[in-house]
């Protein structure tokens, strides 16, 4: 079976769009490869229901304005049994007739599967997270909110995953450890692929400019949540400050635990300019600040979720010529050690993190590791490599009629 002259893809994203880095990369790649792309998204901000962007046309849920923003937002929650999402997906699939559906993660997976199957459309699951493990992390941290108790119950999420995985046509994971987990759950290896969170080769700096005298610049980029190890980073920063080390720690991002971390930093005697919280920033500005740093931190706890996924920031740091300091979460540990791009510390162990950071006050050590990281992105950990994998498996799903349709 040959591909249509201009295949159409529906990418189902369970939040407002813009913006999400993986959604943009995948959809822009498909547009550049000659696909028409519709991004089906939530609409809490009451934006236009249709908006043409470079990465595709966003098809947003029509708002129920008479209810007000709060109630409308609550009733648009991305649950697979939500009638608003079932209606939106059915309306879009029938009107747009996509050649394949890519659904992001689990919340809307069954809804997208049911409606796509009724229309004879193949379905790919973009598994950006080990979703059940991520939800367990939220509960185990004691930070679950009321909506988590009602709609993000770990056992219910596990059931959704067990139902969905054997029924979709293909599962896209972000790292080898995640693919191995999916295969161990019974999905044939030929229906599982790895499309990682890598940057394009063009993002790799040609070389790091000579460092100006001044404090060692440490950066964390990402969500502010307990399982991501920010507390241990702050404890290590306090230890370095007591030793009289000259450094600056920049924490870029927002999240449910940010205020907790800010209070903890104050209790440790950490304040600007030594330690700064920027809050959420536009991606371009965040990457600019990363590029001005020396060391990139990936301190995530080595729990199941981070042992089966990989963060964008690891490769962003490597491309920008930063030395990576990672916990021993399995995928990040493997990549950092195998490439020589940085150092690894024991998860949740701020004392061991301090030991590893002391090594990086030596500029010669940093230069060697930074060069190794940039070289690894140029030759293996880049979006061009992952694009080839994505297109190959997507085309195979479109060419082969779905066995379960």
Residue-level pLDDT at 361? 97
Contacts of 62 (CB under 8 A, 6+ apart): 43, 49
Please say whether the beta carbons of 53 and 24 come within 8 A. no
Contacts of 63 (CB under 8 A, 6+ apart): 43, 46, 72
**Each residue of 21-66: pLDDT tens digit?**
999 999 999 999 999 999 999 999 999 999 999 999 999 999 999 9
Residue 228 structure tokens:
């991501």
Tell me if 8-128+165-197+383-399 shares its fold with 201-379: yes
The pTM for the full model equals 0.93
Residue-level pLDDT at 405? 44
10: β partners: 38, 101
Run of H or E residues at 220: strand 216-221
Residue-level pLDDT at 186? 97
Identify the CA nearest to 175 among candidates 192, 152, 161: 192
Residue-level pLDDT at 141? 65
Residue-level pLDDT at 206? 78
**Each residue of 141-179: pLDDT tens digit?**
666 566 655 566 888 899 999 999 999 999 999 999 999
CATH superfamily, domain at 8-128+165-197+383-399:
Glycogen Phosphorylase B; (3.40.50.2000)
CATH superfamily, domain at 201-379:
Glycogen Phosphorylase B; (3.40.50.2000)
Burial environment of residue 362 by CB neighbours within 10 A (0 to 12, 13 to 18, 19 or more): exposed
Please say whether the beta carbons of 124 and 172 come within 8 A. yes
Walk across the sheet containing 247-252 and list its strands: 275-279, 247-252, 216-221, 295-298, 323-327, 342-345
Q: Return averaged pLDDT per consecutive 10 residues of the chain, 405 residues in all.
A: 87 96 97 98 98 98 97 95 97 97 97 96 96 84 60 85 97 98 97 97 82 89 95 98 98 96 98 97 95 97 96 97 98 98 98 98 96 97 98 95 51
Domain limits, the chain? 8-128+165-197+383-399, 201-379
Separation CA 115–CA 143 (nearest Å)? 34
Residue 159 structure tokens:
């059931």
């Amino acid at each position: 079976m040959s591909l249509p002259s201009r295949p159409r893809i529906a990418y189902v994203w369970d939040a407002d769009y813009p913006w999400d880095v993986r959604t943009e990369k995948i959809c822009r790649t498909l547009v550049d490869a000659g696909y028409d792309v519709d991004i089906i998204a939530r609409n809490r901000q009451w934006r236009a229901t249709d908006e043409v962007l470079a990465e595709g046309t966003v098809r947003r849920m029509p708002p129920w304005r008479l209810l007000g923003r709060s109630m409308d937002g609550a009733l648009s929650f991305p649950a697979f049994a939500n009638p608003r999402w079932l209606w939106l997906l059915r309306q879009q699939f029938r009107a747009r007739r996509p050649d394949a559906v890519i659904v992001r993660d689990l919340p809307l997976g069954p809804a997208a599967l049911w409606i796509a199957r009724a229309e004879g459309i193949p379905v790919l699951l973009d598994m950006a997270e080990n979703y059940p493990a991520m939800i367990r992390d939220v509960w185990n941290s004691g930070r679950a909110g009321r909506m988590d108790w009602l709609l993000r119950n770990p056992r219910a999420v596990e059931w959704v995953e067990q139902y969905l995985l054997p029924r979709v046509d293909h599962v896209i994971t972000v790292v080898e450890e995640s693919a191995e987990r999916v295969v161990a759950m019974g999905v044939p290896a030929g229906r599982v692929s790895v499309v990682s969170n890598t940057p394009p080769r063009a993002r790799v700096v040609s070389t790091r400019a000579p460092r100006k005298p001044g404090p060692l610049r440490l950066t964390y980029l990402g969500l502010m949540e307990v399982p991501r190890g920010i507390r241990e980073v702050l404890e290590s920063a306090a230890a370095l400050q007591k030793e009289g080390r000259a450094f600056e720690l920049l924490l870029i991002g927002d999240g449910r635990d940010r205020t907790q971390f800010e209070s903890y930093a104050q209790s440790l005697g950490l304040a600007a300019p030594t330690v700064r919280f920027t809050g959420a920033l536009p991606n371009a500005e965040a990457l600019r600040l990363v590029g001005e740093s020396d060391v990139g931190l990936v301190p995530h706890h080595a729990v199941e979720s981070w042992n089966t996924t990989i963060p964008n920031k690891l490769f962003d740091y490597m491309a920008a010529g930063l030395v990576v300091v990672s916990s021993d979460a399995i995928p990040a540990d493997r990549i950092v050690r195998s490439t020589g791009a940085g150092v690894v510390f024991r998860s949740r162990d701020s004392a061991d993190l301090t030991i590893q950071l002391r090594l990086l006050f030596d500029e010669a050590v940093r230069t060697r590791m930074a060069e190794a990281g940039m070289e690894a992105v140029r030759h293996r950990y880049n979006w061009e490599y992952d694009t080839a994998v994505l297109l190959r498996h997507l085309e195979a799903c479109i060419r082969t009629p779905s066995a379960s349709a």
